[in-house]
Each structure stands twice: as C-alpha cells, then as structure tokens.
Structure 1
Amino acid sequence: MKPIADPRYSEASAPPQISRFLLQHVAALGRDPAMLCRGLGFEPDDLKQPDYRLSYRQSYLLVRRALHSLGDSGLGLAVGSRQTAVSWGLVGMAMLASPTLGEALDLAIRYQRHTGALLDCEMEIRGGRCRMQASTRFFDPEVSVFYLEEAFSSALAIVRHLSGQDLTLDCVELEYPRPPHAERYADIFRCPLKFAAGHNLIQFDARLLELPLPTRDDYVAAEIAELLDSARWGDQGMSDLIETIQREVRKNLGNPPQLAELAQQLNLGERTLRRRIGDAGLSYHGIVDSLRRAKALALLSHRDSRLIDVAAETGFSDVRNFRRAFKRWTGVAPRAAKQRIAQLD
C-alpha cells in the first residue's frame, strides 16, 4: 500500500521542534541520538539551527526508529508531558504574555505551524464546552499515535504551565484503538478516556478560557505577534487559505460545500478562489479527495468498521465507487488495506 500519496510528504517544510524534543528524551535515557538520525540526512545539531526544516518523511522515519529502538509504545506521552510554554518557541512566549488562557490558545491555533505541529488543530465552543480537535496530515498508524499523544499531552502540560493551575479536562477522545499503555493516559490526563472514537479531541469547561494569566504583558504579546506575522513561512497566506478550505470541508465530508459556496463565505469570487487554490499547486477536487482518503484510512483502522459505513462517511453513496476511489488513492482495495492496518496494531 502506498502509505502517503502527497508531494508535501517529501518537502523540507516541517519545523524540527518535535524531533528535537524526541532526541532530547532519547539522550536523557542514555541513548545516542546521532544513531537514530544516521542515514536520514540530518544530525542532532542541525535541529538547533534557526529556520532548519525537515521533511515529514524524515520526521516520521525518526519517530518510527525511536519507537522500535526504545520499545516504548507510549513515547509520545513521554515526550509531550515534559514540555512547557517555552518549548513552543516564539509562539509559547506570546502565549505567556497573553491576557487570558483563551487568547493564548487562540494564538496557538493561529500560529500552530510555527510551533512545529505536524497535525492540523482547531478549536470551537459548543454548549459551554471548549473542544480542541486534531487530525493527522498523512496516514501512518504507528507514527500518528505518537504525534497525537505528543500533541495532547504537551497541550495539557503547557496549559497547566500557563495558568499555574492543575486544570482538569472533561474528556479525551481518540480515533485509534485502546493502546497497551492506556494506563499512562489516565496518569497524565486524569479524565474519562475514549478510544476508537472516530476523531481526536480534548474537551473542557469553556469558562477556563477566561482565566487571567499571571505573566501577561500586552506589549510583548503584540511584539511577538508582529514577528510571527512577518516571518518567512513559505506561502503562509496561501497555507491559511487552504487550511480554511480543509476545515470547512471536514465539517461535512459526506456532502462538502460547492466551490461557489466557499467563495461566498470567504468573500472571494469563485474564479479568484479557484485561481488561488491552483497557485498553491492544488485543486478543490484534490483537496476533497485528500481529506476523504485520510478519513477512510482512519475509519478502516477500526476493527469493526464496515465498508458501507466508511463509504457513506467519506461521501460515497455506492460502495463500488468508494472501492474504485480507494484503489486510486492507495493502490490496493479497501479490504486489503484493512488487513494490513490490522497487522500494525
């Protein structure tokens, strides 16, 4: 099976923060970080250089090597739970200077690429609860668990660091099956846990967003935000546009909005929106296709998933059309992919 069918996978565009934290953890265990990097095209000291970038492929291979070398299936929890706001660099400093926890989290979502995030995260308020959701950009079951563990445990550790309080969550829900080290989740999150949930989210009382931060400094927050806005980050404006489109499509993947509807939402003409998507080397059909592929692979990782349900949730009314699309995406039939995924559990 082709694990990734996306040219971004091999582009050197990923900030190395998480890889750096991982190698620090490896060194703290008395292991040689350089051994894990051998043959990947970089050395541990490279990750200390400003503006150094890795490809997603390099990042994923490093994580897979670390998982196999250390034999720690809960490695993401170990790496994430050690972090503080400073771990997120300029974004973390701006969060520390923010007036409230809610404004700090808004800032983290807005500048998530600068934190080294290898997931796509969004936040919404619903019924008095704040829900932070994450989705993987590329499909790799083993490595995706690491990145989700790292993201959620680091987010909680940083929120507790920012507020100076041992805040509690309503729940944590994750799309993958219950892992063998699930008791470590209970120690870190101390809230109800749900696995094989079909999505990845942290939920908590929205009133916590109003907590004032003791390190507030409006001048510093504004200064850092200006630095982040002016930073060279590839095609950041275009990335923001694509991420907005992806977010809207994810809301109803079974019946995604027409391009004309999206253009109206974004206050753009349909031709302008189509051109800007094209300028990013993409097409609207390709964006929808990519999200459907990722969702299908995530759903197929559930042992009890049925093809008819996976097809429906990814926007196909006919299982035969879903099979054809899936084979075009991955090179294999859905049932064969499901068997291979099960072998990785």
Structure 2
Amino acid sequence: MSERTTSSNWALAIVQALELGGVDCVALFAELGMDYAALNDPDARFPQDGMTRLWQRAVALSGNPAIGLNMAQVVRPASFHVVGYALMSSRNLRDGFTRLVRYQRIIGEGADLNFLPQPDGYALTLVIHGDRLPPARQSAEASLAYCLAFCRWMTGKPIRPREIRLQGPAPADLVPYQQVFQAPLKFNAEHYGLIFERADLEAPLPSANEALAQLHDRFAGEYLARFCSSRVTHQARQVLCRLLPQGEPRREVVAQTLHLSQRTLQRRLQEEGTSYQQLLDDTRRELAEQYLGQVDLTLLEVAYLLGFADPSNFFRAFRRWFGETPGEYRSRRGLVG
C-alpha cells in the first residue's frame, strides 16, 4: 500500500529539533519501530504516520507542546533536500517560494503548500494531511518556524511577517511563539500560513545565481519525476490534463490509457489517499488558477479547457473552490481579461 512519506533530510531536521528539546530519539525510534540509521541515507523516506507518532510521543516525553518551534534552531539548506539549494539560488524569496511549492513533495508528501499574492504582500499557506492518523499540530508549527528561520538566514535580515496564522486555539504559553516568530500571531485561522510584506519577498537574495538555479531545477525535476512515476495519482493527473480540453474525461478512458481496469485504478488511487472524482476536482482547481493567470484567455475558454460543457458548472465549481467568482478572482489579483 502506498502511503505519504517524508524525506530523510526533513526527518533528520525534526530529530535534531526534538533532541534539542531533550528527547532521546534513538530510543524513541526503536520504540516506534523506525530505523534511526536511515536518517543518514539521503534517499530514505519515512511514512507520514510514523512521523505523526514521533511528534505525539516527543510531546508526551518532553511535556512541551511547543517543541516543534525548535526547528527554527536547526536551519540548514539540506533539510529541504535539493529544494533548499534551489531556494538559495533563486533571485528573491518570491521566486524561491514558487520553487518550494513546485518541489515541496520531495520534502514531504503530507503537506500542501500554496503561495499567492495578496493585495499588499504575499501569503504562504500550509495544510498538513495525515494518512490513517490525523496530523500533529507540531508538524505544521515546525514547518512555519523552519521556513521563516530559513528566510532570515538566507537574507541575513530579521524578516518580520505581517501575520503568522495558526490553526487551533491559542496555547496557554505564548512566549515560545512570540520568541520564534517575532510577528503578530493569529490563532484559530483557516490555514497555517506566513503573510509577508511585498518588499521582503522581492528584495534580491545575496546567494542568487541564475545558472545554479537552473541546475537545481533540473535536479529537483528529475528527482520528482523519478519519485512520482511510480504513483498512479501522478500518472492519472497527467492523463487528465491531456484529456480535459476535449470534455470531462470518463474514468474508464483514464483507466484504459493507464492499461488498468477501472477497479484497479480506483483501488490504487484509494491507496494513495484520493479517488477519481477527487483527483479530477483537484486537477481542475489547480489548472483553473494557472489558466486565470493567462489574461489572454476568456472565462469561457477557461471553462472549456477544464472540460466543462456548461460554463455555469465551471462558475459553480470555482465558487466552491475559492469562495468567489472567476471574475472576482481575476480583478482581486489585478488580472484583466
């Protein structure tokens, strides 16, 4: 059965953060049946639920629910696998975050990142998915703390986001959060996220190098292709992208294209945490954002490219995805067309 996984690079950073908090991770890995030695194998990956159990036990053993924030103290580019170096060689943090979103599955498959311009800045939002276990809050907090610390390290500047968004109620002790983020905290937020000032993300990075950025893009792209090629979700998504402009693709057509029976396709997608209908919906949503960014495409053309025979169905789906009409989405982002 295919499960979501986390790279050994990211798992090693988590272990270092937990060990800073006084957790004996060698003993803990043995208790959880996980391979501590594999942390030093750059190609090893750890199951998402194993990482969730690791967080849960670490919180119980340390008595520190904010232990995830220790990630801000273990910053090094390799924790993000090749993606860390791709970020460093980017022109600015805006380009770096675009790369982070593109390659984020290399670091961990349990996270969904989004990077979107806001009226007066940029938002990097995060959703963590569990497999059989609901994700640990500490996992998301660690990701935000590490990401911000990495930005400060790369720029050499004490970047202060406009807002830190955290799901769930405010903890009894806010001090660790205030010390790490040094920015306004918003709890009970819809998503985990960092809201940045525009100027901070558009300033040139000291380590920018276009030639290296292209090289890292190639490495990351090759790794992702190799990593994803075994995933039916990835293969089916590619087929859907190809077929959508001809109308809504039927499941049997996608199954035939992949040389699978409908039942096998459905089972494999289920094992990878999705379904045919969910994958179709997710693919359309992702493509809708891309197409609406192309101002030469009319809304009618976008609807047909997404396989909607009736544009009103596209408008309904879009409102469900983004809480606004395609026209409102475009005008809010300053896109006309």
Same fold (TM over 0.5): yes
SS of the aligned residue for 1:157 comes to helix
Aligned-residue offset at 1:120: 1.0
Q: What secondary structure sits across from 2:56 in the alignment?
A: helix
Deviates more, 1:232-241 or 1:116-125: 232-241
Q: Is the contact between residue 20 and residue 70 of structure 2 (CA under 8 Å) also seen in structure 1?
A: no
Greater displacement, 61-70 / 22-31 = 22-31
- 1:76 pairs, out of 57, 68, 75, with 68
Q: Judging changes above 3 Å, is the alpha-carbon distance between structure 1 residues 167 and 265 closer, same or farther for their aligned structure 2 residues? A: farther
Instruction: Give how far 1:52 is off.
Output: 0.7
Q: Secondary structure at the match of 1:123?
A: strand
Map 1:323-342 → 2, pairs under 5 A: none
Q: 1:204 & 1:125 partners in 2: Cα distance?
A: 10
The one of 271, 274, 288 equivalent to 2:249 is: 271
User: What is the aligned counterpart of 1:66 among 35, 41, 58?
Assistant: 58
Q: Distance in 1 between matches of 2:148 and 2:234?
A: 25
Q: Do residues 119 (structure 1) and 98 (structure 2) align?
A: no
Taking the aligned partners of 2:249 and 2:55, their CA distance within structure 1 comes to: 41
Structure 1: gaps of 5 or more residues: 1-6, 245-261, 291-312, 316-345
- Residue type at the aligned position of 1:233: F
- Aligned residue among 90, 97, 100 for 1:105: 97
Of residues 220, 228, 231, the one that matches 1:234 is: 228
Partner of 2:86: 94
Q: Shift of residue 236 of structure 1?
A: 7.8
Q: Is the 8 A contact 2:12 2:79 kept in 1?
A: no
SS in 2 for 1:69: helix
Query: Does the C-alpha gap of structure 1 residues 124 and 86 become closer, same or farther in structure 2, counting only changes over 3 Å?
Result: same
TM-score by length of 1: 0.67
TM-fit CA distance, 1:107: 0.8
**TM-aligned CA distance change 1:220 to 1:314, over 3 Å:** closer
1:135 to 94, 110, 127: 127
Name the residue aligned to 1:217: 209
Corresponding residue to 1:170 among 142, 162, 183: 162
Residues in 1 aligned to 2:69 and 2:237: alpha-carbon distance in whole angstroms: 27
C-alpha deviation, 1:175, in angstroms: 1.9
Long gaps (5+) in structure 2:
283-318, 322-337
Write the letter of the residue equivalent to 1:275: V
1:26 positional shift:
3.8
Report the equivalent of 1:200: 192
Give 1:265 deviation, angstroms. 11
Is the Cα–Cα contact under 8 Å of residues 10 and 79 in structure 2 kept in the other structure? Answer: no
SS at match of 1:132: strand
TM-score norm. by structure 2 comes to 0.68
Q: Determine the structure 2 residue equivalent to 1:4.
A: none
Tell me the distance in 2 between the aligned counterparts of 1:272 and 1:228: 32
Deviations 1:35-59 (A, max 9, x none): 1012433232111112111111211
Offset of 1:103 from its aligned partner?
A: 1.0
State the Cα distance separating 1:75 from its structure 2 match. Answer: 0.9
Cα distance in structure 2, aligned partners of 1:189 and 1:92: 20
Q: Would you say the 8 A contact 2:16–2:74 is kept in 1?
A: no
**CA shift in 2, pair 1:62/1:124, >3 Å:** same
**Backbone CA RMSD of aligned residues:** 3.5
Structure 2 CA distance for aligned equivalents of residues 209 and 188 of structure 1 = 19
Distance (Å, rounded) in 1 between the aligned partners of 2:126 and 2:102: 14
Counterpart CA distance in 1 for 2:88 and 2:185 is 29
Structure 2 residue aligned with 1:145: 137
